[in-house]
Structure 1
Amino acid sequence: MPQKILIMEDDAALSEWLSYELAADYEVTTAADGLTGLTRAQSGNRPDLMILDVMMPGLTGFEVAKKLKTNPQTADIPIIFLTARTTLNDKLTGFESGGLEYLTKPIKSKELLARVEAILRYTELNRRRGQAEVETEMHQAADIQRRLMPRETPRLSGLDLHASYKPASRIGGDFYDFMIRPDQQLVFVAADVTGKGLPAALVMASTLTALWGAAHYKPSPQAALERVNTDLYDKLTDVRKMVTTFIGFYNPETHQVTYANAGHAPIIFCPADGQARLLEADGPPLGALPTILSQNHHLMLAEGDVLLIGSDGLSEAENRAGEMFGYERLLEAVTTLADRTAPEIAAGLFEQMTAFAAGHKQSDDQTLIVLKGTPHE
């Protein structure tokens, strides 16, 4: 596809000649006044390079260039000034306005083509260099995020524990982690930041830090969530983010799980002798309100019982027809898989979702924590 050049020149004969010289290699459009040229440059058909006369009806070439450079959508369009104004002050003004070249009339065809080709090549090299730098930074951010995730799950008597994480993009907004409190209770957290990519990952890191500080000394999951929401509410609203968060405390002596849930789903409990069921959240995500509504809840994780904490990427996994995996399939799958070990339950669930998707790429992160009660060692 040829690169696009926009010529802004009020001399019709010169504009026609420039178009003729460039049309063999480029897609050329023209504008006879500054305002028309500016409007076309800011439209959806953005040019790859602009050739501007200085003295034109309406806006001058210098004024057009300044407006383009102050607009983030057009600031990187390379500009060549082509004008009869030849004073040093004019040239300095052209460069200060954002021009990469300042050519004077009349100009020969070979020089015009050489300057245009050189600037487009220079711009393309800079674009590729910028993309490479962004790619490097994204790799580094993804590596940092992986390091924030636990490398292994804690081992506790009476508990089979497993976690899995499959980001939809290189940098995701889901996270999970584990911690042992001073009273020897296991803390397990799963959360999902709205959005994806680097912004979500940055919010994730801040939330994770706040959660661990609160979970270490607050007496209950609800109190920990309240502390984190108080600390982060203003920051979350400033960046227009919310964080669905599930936090649980597992007592290895009593097998009791105490948890609080701020908008996170799905949470599934499957007793050893029954059917899997959903445990609904009773409060909105962190950042939605100045105070949380979530309360503490309790359940016993007896031998054979399964507690599954997932992200919405599980229930919202789609196939090629746009049909979602949904809660019904999740509950059926957990019930069927509940007699297996925690790692096998996770693997079996992902296997069923993969078969359902039939190669369709998923648009959301998929995070899963599985806790299963086992006999005391």
Structure 2
Amino acid sequence: MLKEGLRQDEKTEIYQRLPYDILDGMIDWVRVIDKNEIIIYANKTMRKELGEDIVGNKCYLALKKPCHCETCITQSTIKTGEILEKEEIIDDRIFAVKTSPVRDNKGNIYAAVEVFRDVTKERKLEYELVEKNEKMRSELAFARKLQEKILPKKGMYGNLLIDYVYNPSEMLSGDMFDIFNIDDNNIGVYISDVVGHGVSASMITMFVKQSMRDIKDHILSPRETLIKLHKGFLELGLDDDKYFTIFYGVINTKENTFTFVNGGHNCSPILIRDNRVKLLEAKGYPITYLFDKVDYDEHKIKLIEDDKLIFYTDGIVEAINEKGEQFGIDRLLNMMKYKGDQFMGYIEDEIDDFRQSVKQDDFAVLMMRVLK
């Protein structure tokens, strides 16, 4: 607000100087360049850093350049009237430069105003962030490769033929399965689904794998195995939102029996026999901090030659296509009637065709076939 008592000529002078006072008060550099690349105005901030004598000189000389820029947005602005932007490096500092046209009373462009904003800190932070992201991606890729390396080998385990499809939706997966020899007559198999994705989920899969391998050396019973696994998980002291489901069974290759328990896994394995399919349904608690103690009911079935056991995670039955339709258990059961030689390849192709490009959850399918 102007002081009272000022003469009209004093007020006029103040109003005339107001735009210059505003520009001189800016922390950004501001200058005006004419059609001949001559600086006809520079604000106080710019003159202070580059020298009072820059006005009247060529625009590029003020920036310590021997010639004009290869891409001169200022002259383009003068020619076209467009507002343009670019970045400029001046004495190891990075500036975002914006040019706007300056017009006379008739609307003709006779110059361009340039505003230089120092973005050095922002760009350095961006570069550091990019470097850290690249490092993180590299480490996640290594972790994923390691996670895939610890999957069981496909092939023969006693009289069982093993094959599987493993399809993580992100760098790291919360789905995991394993097959291991317990003794000369017994083979353990489990499939597990950890809540969530990423590093925390993958670390829990590592815990499950290591724990199950340790427990199987001392405990044969699937029921007692999961009770022991639950106790070990509680000892980790993780947050309440960390939990997982697991279906675990032991195949006795001498008696051809499969004894199993379900630790909250909502995808009942499928038994395929003589082109008939049956769900191996069982109930039980997931491995979670919600329960201090858990118990499980063991179930046992007899296996015969050419039986197939199919274990899977909910990323299959809960998959959604582009129409919003869910894959569902019925569609999965119908697929189990496939009679060709490429059983697992057929399953993977069918699921991929259904999901197409829609972003989905992890999924894993494990097949065990009794050969004799």
Please give the TM-score of this superposition, normalised by the length of structure 2. Answer: 0.66
Deviations 1:64-106 (Å, cap 9, x if unpaired)? xxxxxxxxxxxxxxxxxxxxxxxxxxxxxxxxxxxxxxxxxxx
Tell me by how many angstroms 1:328 deviates.
0.7
Q: 1:120 — aligned with what?
A: 122
- Contact 1:244-1:262 within 8 A present in 2 as well: yes
Deviations 1:236-278 (Å, cap 9, x if unpaired)? 6426211111111111111111111111242333342363232
Q: Describe the shift of the 1:14–1:224 C-alpha distance in structure 2 as closer, same or farther (beyond 3 A).
A: farther
Tell me by how many angstroms 1:299 deviates.
1.1
SS of the residue 1:217 aligns to: coil
Tell me by how many angstroms 1:20 deviates.
7.7
Q: Describe the shift of the 1:297–1:210 C-alpha distance in structure 2 as closer, same or farther (beyond 3 A).
A: same
The residue type equivalent to 2:221 in the other structure is S
Q: 1:275 — aligned with what?
A: 276
How many aligned residue pairs are there? Answer: 269
Q: 2:364 — aligned with what?
A: 367
What pairs up with 1:8-27 in 2 under 5 angstroms?
17-18=25-26
- Contact 1:154-1:178 within 8 A present in 2 as well: no
- Contact 1:255-1:300 within 8 A present in 2 as well: yes
Whole-Å separation in 2 of the counterparts to 1:272 and 1:123: 61
Q: 1:160 — aligned with what?
A: 161
The residue type equivalent to 1:304 in the other structure is D
Q: Describe the shift of the 1:119–1:275 C-alpha distance in structure 2 as closer, same or farther (beyond 3 A).
A: same
What pairs up with 1:87-166 in 2 under 5 angstroms?
113=116, 116-157=118-159, 159-166=160-167
Deviations 1:258-305 (Å, cap 9, x if unpaired)? 111111242333342363232234112111422224221111121232
Whole-Å separation in 2 of the counterparts to 1:15 and 1:176: 67
- Contact 2:187-2:251 within 8 A present in 1 as well: yes
Q: 1:174 — aligned with what?
A: 175
What pairs up with 1:298-317 in 2 under 5 angstroms?
298-317=300-319
Deviations 1:208-236 (Å, cap 9, x if unpaired)? 11111112221211111110100112436
Q: 2:43 — aligned with what?
A: none
Deviations 1:313-353 (Å, cap 9, x if unpaired)? 1111211112111001111111x12x455xx3222222222
Percent identity among equivalent residues? 22
Greater strand fraction, Structure 1 or Structure 2: 2
SS of the residue 1:230 aligns to: helix
The residue type equivalent to 1:275 in the other structure is R
Whole-Å separation in 2 of the counterparts to 1:236 and 1:171: 22
Q: 1:26 — aligned with what?
A: none
- Contact 2:194-2:245 within 8 A present in 1 as well: yes
Q: Describe the shift of the 1:360–1:204 C-alpha distance in structure 2 as closer, same or farther (beyond 3 A).
A: same
SS of the residue 1:18 aligns to: coil
Q: 1:264 — aligned with what?
A: 265
Q: Describe the shift of the 1:19–1:348 C-alpha distance in structure 2 as closer, same or farther (beyond 3 A).
A: same
The residue type equivalent to 1:146 in the other structure is E
Tell me by how many angstroms 1:21 deviates.
5.8
Q: Describe the shift of the 1:126–1:223 C-alpha distance in structure 2 as closer, same or farther (beyond 3 A).
A: same
- Contact 1:268-1:331 within 8 A present in 2 as well: no
What pairs up with 1:337-352 in 2 under 5 angstroms?
337=338, 339-340=339-340, 344-352=342-350
Q: 2:40 — aligned with what?
A: none
Whole-Å separation in 2 of the counterparts to 1:236 and 1:273: 47
What pairs up with 1:31-50 in 2 under 5 angstroms?
none
1:289 and 2:281 correspond: no
Whole-Å separation in 2 of the counterparts to 1:178 and 1:278: 20
Whole-Å separation in 2 of the counterparts to 1:191 and 1:134: 26
Instruction: Note the residue ranges of structure 1 that are not aligned, 5 or more in a row.
Output: 1-12, 23-111
Instruction: Note the residue ranges of structure 2 that are not aligned, 5 or more in a row.
Output: 1-20, 31-114
CA radius of gyration, larger in: 2
Whole-Å separation in 1 of the counterparts to 2:238 and 2:282: 21
Tell me by how many angstroms 1:185 deviates.
0.9
Please give the TM-score of this superposition, normalised by the length of structure 1. Answer: 0.65
Whole-Å separation in 2 of the counterparts to 1:306 and 1:20: 73
